[in-house]
Amino acid sequence: MSPQVPMAPVAHTNGYEFTQGTGYALPQYPFVLPPELQATHRVRHPVVVVGAGITGLTLACSLAQLGVPAVVLDEDNTVGVKGASSRGICYTQKSLEIFQRLGIYERIKAKGIEWSVGRTFAGNDEVFSFDLSQQSQFNLSQQPPFINIQQFYIEGYLVERIHEIQATHTPVDLRWMSRVVGFSQNETCATLEVQTPAGNYHIEAEHVIDATGSHTPFHAWCQASMDAKRGDDRWCIADVRFQNTPPTERHTWIEAPFNENRAVWQHLMGDQVWRIDYQMAPHTDPAYASREDVVRERLQRQFGPDVACEIVWVGPYAYKSQCLHQLRSGRVFFAGDTAKVVSPFGARGGNTGIADADNLAWKLAAVLRGLAPESLLNTYHDERLEAAQRNVLVTNRTVRFLRPAEPAAQLFRQATLALAKKHRFARNMVNTGRMAEANTYSRSPACAGGGVSVQNVALRWANGRAGQFNQLIDWADGAMLLLVWGALTQAELGKLRQLSQSMAMLRVVQVCMPGDAAQALEHIVDDRGHVRQACRALDQRWALVRPDAYLAATGHAVDGALIRALSRSLAVA
C-alpha cells in the first residue's frame, strides 16, 4: 500500500487526533481568572490534580463526594482529546460500579450500549466466543459486565457531577486552560507553575496527582524510571453510523478476509456509532490509511459495495506499553496513563485509570481528615503497581498474538487458529484481547487475606426495602465497613460497640440471613446470600470492606485478628 497523491504528514499517536469525518461538537468550558493571579502570597492546597481526563476527573469527583477540596488543572478547555472524538469506548463492570457511587451511572446507562457477548472469527470460522453475563465474576452485580460509550461522554458527566456537588458543598475547583509548565518539591510542599491565557502563576500543594496522560512532563520532573516498549503494529479506526446496523455483539476477526487477513474489531457505542478498527500493515502511512476514499473502500470490502454510512471520524494509531517502577515520587502520585500505558486491546487503559483514582481518593480523604496515617498513601503504589504490571503483561500477550513478530510466536498463532477451528479446548488460547477486570491485590499488606473487588450486589435494608451494596459504602462515608454474620454474643456485641465508638474510620453492620435476629443497631438483610458471596465470606464470621469496595480481610471470630486486620488496612503500625 502506498499513497496515491502526496499528503501532509499525519503522525501515529497514542491518543489520536481527528483526521476525517464530521466529528462531535464538545462542550467548551470557560477560563476563569484564578485568585492566585491577583494574590500577593502563594496559596497552598491539600490536593492538586493535574489533568482533567477520565482519571483526573474520576479522582476529583470522588474527592468532592468525600468532602475533600481540590484544585484540578487542565491545559485544554474541553473533554476528550483536543476536542476530537473518543479514544476509549468499553467500560467494565468495576468502572460502572464506581460511577454508580459517583452518581453518573444512570447517565452512562441511558447513553451507552450494554453488551456481554463477544465472538471472534478467523476467516468465516468462529474460533472463540464468550458471554460475560454468564460468568460468575460478573453476574452478581447491579451493573452489567460492560457498557460501550464514547469516553468524552463519561468525562462530560463527571464535570457535570463535580459542578453539582460543588453547588451543594465541597469546593473542587476545576480550572481549564491551565497548563502546568514547572514543578519542584521539598519536605514542606510541592510548587507548580501554571500557564494560563491571563499569565503564569504559582500554586503550592501538599499532594499532587499527575493525571496528565502518556505525554506527562512529570516523568522528567520526577526522574521517573520505567520499562517501555513500542512495536510496529499499526491500526486505523473508522467510527461510522450505518443505515442498516449489524448485531450489537462485539465481533472481532483475528484474520479478516476483507482486510487482507489482518484483524478487525467491530463494536457499537452511543448514538448508534460503530467503531470499526482495522489492523494495517506494519509501518503503514497514517495519512494514506485515514484518507476518506481509502476508508470508504475498506468499509465497502467489509460491508459490501452498497454500504450506506456516515463517517463520524477516523483515527490512525500506534501504541506502546510502558510501566513506571514507582507510582509515588515524594508528593506526586502517578495515576492513569502516567502510571502505565497499555495497548487498547481489552479496554484496560481508561478502566484502570478509573480504578487508580478510586484507590487513591479514599486514602487521601482518610489522611487529610486525620483518620489514617500518611503511610496509608504508600499502599497506593503497592496495589496499583501490581494492577499496572498485570495489565501490561496481559495486553502484551494479546499484542504478541495479534502481531507475532518472532517465528515462535507466529507458529504458536498458526497452530492455535488451526486447532481452534476444530477443537473447543484450543479456543481459549485465541487472544484478541482479554477484557478488563477488577485487578486483585495480592501483594499489598493493607489487604492481606482480601484484595478482591466486592461487587455491587442487591441487599435489603432493615425496613425490608431493596438496596444495594454501594449504598452501604455511601452510608459509611469514606470509612471501613465491618460486616458481621450470625448470632452475636453479648461479649461480641460489647467489643463491636467499643470498636465502632473508638474508631472514626469504622462502621459496623450486622448482616442477617433469613431467620436471624437483628441484634445490632445497624443491620441489613442478605436474603439471597449475595453479600456473603461477594465478600468471599461463606464460611467466615466477618468481612472488612474498604471505601473502594475492595475486601481488606475476612475472619472467623471477633477477636484480635480482626483488630490486626483493621490496623493493617489503615497502615497503622
Residues engaged in binding ligand FAD (CB under 6 A): 14-15, 50-56, 73-76, 87-90, 151, 179-180, 211-213, 217, 317, 336-337, 344, 347, 349-351, 353
CA distances from 129 to 138, 194, 302, 391 (A): 16, 49, 21, 21
Per the listing, cell 446496523 goes with 245
Shortest separation between residue 16's beta carbon and ligand FAD, angstroms: 6
Our CB check for ligand FAD shows the closer of 177 and 506 to be 177
| Cell output for 100 | 454508580
Shortest separation between residue 278's beta carbon and ligand FAD, angstroms: 12
Shortest separation between residue 108's beta carbon and ligand FAD, angstroms: 13
Our CB check for ligand FAD shows the closer of 88 and 286 to be 88
DSSP string for residues in 139-174: TTSSS-SEEE--HHHHHHHHHHHHHHHHHHS--EEE
Shortest separation between residue 154's beta carbon and ligand FAD, angstroms: 9
Phi, psi for residue 232 in degrees, rounded to 5: -105, 10
Shortest separation between residue 408's beta carbon and ligand FAD, angstroms: 28
Our CB check for ligand FAD shows the closer of 131 and 193 to be 193
Phi, psi for residue 7 in degrees, rounded to 5: -125, 155
Shortest separation between residue 385's beta carbon and ligand FAD, angstroms: 16
Distance of CA 29 to the CA centre of its chain: 24
Phi, psi for residue 77 in degrees, rounded to 5: -125, 25
d(C-alpha 459, C-alpha 286), whole Å: 52
Our CB check for ligand FAD shows the closer of 52 and 565 to be 52
How many CB atoms sit inside 10 A of residue 484's CB?
23
Our CB check for ligand FAD shows the closer of 158 and 476 to be 158
d(C-alpha 468, C-alpha 474), whole Å: 10
**Residues 6 or more apart whose Cβ sits within 8 Å of residue 254:** 120, 121, 122, 127, 263, 401, 402, 417, 430, 432
Shortest separation between residue 414's beta carbon and ligand FAD, angstroms: 27
Our CB check for ligand FAD shows the closer of 90 and 295 to be 90
- Evaluate whether 341 touches 349 at the Cβ level (below 8 Å): yes
Our CB check for ligand FAD shows the closer of 72 and 473 to be 72
